Structure 1
Amino acid sequence: MSDIFRKALMEDAARINVPQMTWKQVKQGHRRARGKADWKRRLLVYASAAALVIIVIGGLGFVSPVMSKALQKVPIIGELYWSDNPKLSQYASEPDLSVTDKGITFSVQKIYYDGKRLNMLYAIQVPEGYIPAPDVQLKILLDIDNKVQLNGKPLWDYSGFKILGASSTDSLVSKNMYGGYLSYHLASDQTIPQDSVLTIPVKQIGMVKGDWTLSVPVSGTAINSGAETMFPQNASTSYDGMTLTVSKVIKGPVYTDITMQLRQGLRADGKPVSKTSLLEDFGLPMEFRILDTNHQVIKLSSPKVNDQHFKEVGNEKIWDFTIECKTPSSDVKAIVIEPILMVLYEKGVTEGNCPTMPQLAVTVPLN
């Protein structure tokens, strides 16, 4: 039975198309389309692996407290959601906290917090006979993005901390076990506590109402103590009336944050000096990819652009922003940040992938 289940999942995963960033995706203005496609593929692949481990538990139905404790030591949830970043799991804390109400157990398995990023893995055990919600929109068991608090202050725009993004999802990993992921990215232009208490007020799981509230201590002190801050000299490239500059690099054990600026000169009539047309409909008119000094793509997840700010000063347009990427291995002494132009899709004119701009690439030292 497990072989059949695994084969079906693997066949489904193989049918999922995971394209590179295309013109049509750019037109939609959805910067994370590729990441979500990758995530879907990984979820199916690791779900099949998880099924092999816990198919027996799924067949038994009810998960006993002893089995529950043993199951928490199996990194199924982490494999599902953190498989592409082993360091994230390595530096995460394991609070081993859980609460049970109405026969449902909610537990926090791992938390990563560095003062800017908060990632949490959780598990939900449901009793035998649990019936999922019929509405597909309600099948995600937890809807807590805008309810979680840090030191009593909501992690949500306009009512608490300023965040750049939040996401949550969960999925069935066995007959009676759901695994979930919750993440936040906090804006850097605010005071964020390094040591705090995370409060997760859960009042409903699926269609069942109850109280599964948990308070979890979190700290970014240990992680940030291992971070290295650099201010690279002459990390700037100019081409076609544009200049791309790196002013600061914070290299942590898990993530690296690179502070950058893009400048575009303007003529007296206010039009750009450059011949290259920049699409400004979605904010910063570029995405980026990370290369090594031999201009080969480093196998990191797609870098994220954060903390965007735009201004027009005198005869220049200026974009300030930060790039976040996974920290490369210690043998990588420098990386090259290469722009990818954002261009609107036009049928019959702009087909294929968005063009890279190697002439404006910047080399960034990491030590």
Structure 2
Amino acid sequence: MSDIFREALMEDAARINVPQKTWEQVKQSYKFTSLNNAISNTPLQWDTIIRKICYGFAAALIVGGLLIASGFVSPVMAKTLERIPVIKAIFNFVGDKGLQNAIDKGFSTKVNRTATDKGISVTITDVLYDQGRLDIGYQVTTSRHDLSPNNYPGDMTIPLDSPGMQFFANNKPIHDTAQGTEQRMGNGRVGLVEIYPRGDLPETFNLQIAIHQIGKQQGQWLLTVPVSRQHTDTATKVFLPMKAETIGQTTIMIKKVEIAPSSTIIESVLTHPIKEKLSWTTIDDKGHVFRPISGYVMHKHVDGDMITETIRELFESPKIFPKYLILVPTTSNSGFPTKKIKVLLN
């Protein structure tokens, strides 16, 4: 992973500001607003109102909350979206081999939950959850003639700067980094969002989402989506190589390698001079270079001119399970010797 990529991820993650409201507080605030609106227009049918709110609000929020968390829309992902023939292939548009391999092996779960408010519907189509990431596919459609899917950002887009987007796991706010992308398909828009867990999400939980704006249209949507990684955990292989190499003043130790259906996670401990920027390329036994997805510093300790960092990095998983990995470290020090670190996976 390059220094620029790593530092940008750390900086973005540090800037994320997640409201501290609980899921119950969010639901209560929307119940109050919905009640006022219902009284002023029609006789109150509370069960129907709550059911519609709960289905609708969260689906839309999934779309927007992840997009706003990173503010990132990949041109490659968007271009690939244009070639999708059907919405059931929602996960295949990202050009992510690890994700596609996991889907091909049946690790995604169909959700197909739809929420409708103000004539706009949001459908959560599929989810895929493993040790590295939680992926959510969605579709936005409308029966209104005054809204067009052609505009971006526009009528049917969850705006990146939309206020009030929140994610919860069993009623607790989710603080993890996320990103997403979306594009037009047919009479609506489709997209994919990803959350990158930091070890704080349970194996099985209710993902609760909230949003109150699509395009310029304000509304009220809430949704609960059950997610689980029990199936993917069973297929995940974990290795504790504890492989250490010292190069000059720099020591690299590979503590843990997890190869999940869509993600490969490498946990390492780096000790190096503070002024020295360290990165490396990860290659498998067949020469395939692992594409980095995300990463963050779990712990760090400064001792004089040296710093020790525990880093968790996320890559897409290979199609064929490797026998070993090769790490090729580089630093900002031009005199740093080239050395390959071989990590056996057995």
Q: TM-score, normalised by structure 2?
A: 0.68
Q: Which amino acid aligns with 1:40?
A: P
Residue 155 of structure 1, CA deviation: 1.3
Equivalent residue number for residue 169 of structure 1: 181
Equivalent residue number for residue 230 of structure 2: 221
Query: Which of 169, 178, 181 does residue 150 from structure 1 map onto?
Result: 169
Aligned counterparts, 1:344-355, within 5 A:
none
**Alignment deviations for residues 180-217 of structure 1 (CA, whole Å, 9 cap, x no partner):** 222222222x4x32111111223221112223322111
**Alpha carbons 2:298, 2:311 under 8 Å: kept:** yes
3-state SS, counterpart of residue 236 of structure 1: strand
Distance 1:28 1:227 in 2: 25
Equivalent residue number for residue 49 of structure 1: 83
3-state SS, counterpart of residue 87 of structure 1: helix
**Alpha carbons 1:258, 1:324 under 8 Å: kept:** yes
Aligned counterparts, 1:198-213, within 5 A:
198-213=207-222
Residue 144 of structure 1, CA deviation: 7.8
Confirm or deny that 1:362 pairs with 2:341: yes
Distance 1:153 1:38 in 2: 27
Equivalent residue number for residue 29 of structure 2: none
Query: Which of 264, 277, 283 does residue 291 from structure 1 map onto?
Result: 283
Query: Which of 247, 253, 256 does residue 239 from structure 1 map onto?
Result: 247
Confirm or deny that 1:81 pairs with 2:89: no
**Alpha carbons 1:201, 1:213 under 8 Å: kept:** yes
Residues 26/199 of structure 1: CA separation in 2 closer, same or farther (3 Å cut):
closer
Q: Which amino acid aligns with 1:339?
A: P
Equivalent residue number for residue 239 of structure 2: 230
Distance 2:96 2:219 in 1: 32
Q: TM-score, normalised by structure 1?
A: 0.65
Residue 125 of structure 1, CA deviation: 0.7
Structure holding more strand per residue: 2
Q: Identical aligned pairs, as a percentage?
A: 18
Confirm or deny that 1:330 pairs with 2:333: no
Query: Which of 90, 96, 101 does residue 112 from structure 2 map onto?
Result: 96
Residue 37 of structure 1, CA deviation: 10
Aligned Cα root-mean-square deviation (Å)? 3.6
Distance 2:164 2:279 in 1: 27
**Alpha carbons 1:106, 1:212 under 8 Å: kept:** no
Q: Which amino acid aligns with 2:172?
A: K
**Alignment deviations for residues 290-346 of structure 1 (CA, whole Å, 9 cap, x no partner):** 22347x4x1432253323422124774212112222222335211112224358xxx
Aligned counterparts, 1:50-129, within 5 A:
50=84, 53=85, 71-73=86-88, 75=89, 77-81=90-94, 83-84=96-97, 85-89=99-103, 90-114=106-130, 117-127=133-143, 128-129=145-146
Confirm or deny that 1:141 pairs with 2:158: yes
Residue 116 of structure 1, CA deviation: 5.3
Distance 2:130 2:250 in 1: 34
Q: Which amino acid aligns with 2:173?
A: P
Residue 126 of structure 1, CA deviation: 2.2
Confirm or deny that 1:256 pairs with 2:275: no
Q: Which amino acid aligns with 1:130?
A: L
3-state SS, counterpart of residue 78 of structure 1: helix
Aligned counterparts, 1:276-315, within 5 A:
278=276, 285-293=277-285, 296=287, 298-302=288-292, 304-313=294-303
**Taking CA–CA contacts closer than 8 Å with sequence separation of 6 or more, which of the two structures ends up with the larger relative contact order?**
2
Residues 104/310 of structure 1: CA separation in 2 closer, same or farther (3 Å cut):
same
Distance 1:37 1:213 in 2: 24
Q: Which amino acid aligns with 1:86?
A: Q
Q: Which amino acid aligns with 1:292?
A: D
**Alignment deviations for residues 134-153 of structure 1 (CA, whole Å, 9 cap, x no partner):** 89588742548941211111
Equivalent residue number for residue 191 of structure 2: 180
Q: Which amino acid aligns with 2:78?
A: L
Distance 1:187 1:331 in 2: 24
**Alpha carbons 1:237, 1:243 under 8 Å: kept:** yes
Residue 244 of structure 1, CA deviation: 0.9
Q: Flag structure 1 segments of 5+ consecutive residues without an equivalent.
A: 1-19, 54-70, 157-162, 266-271, 279-284, 344-354
Residues 244/133 of structure 1: CA separation in 2 closer, same or farther (3 Å cut):
same
Distance 1:167 1:358 in 2: 36
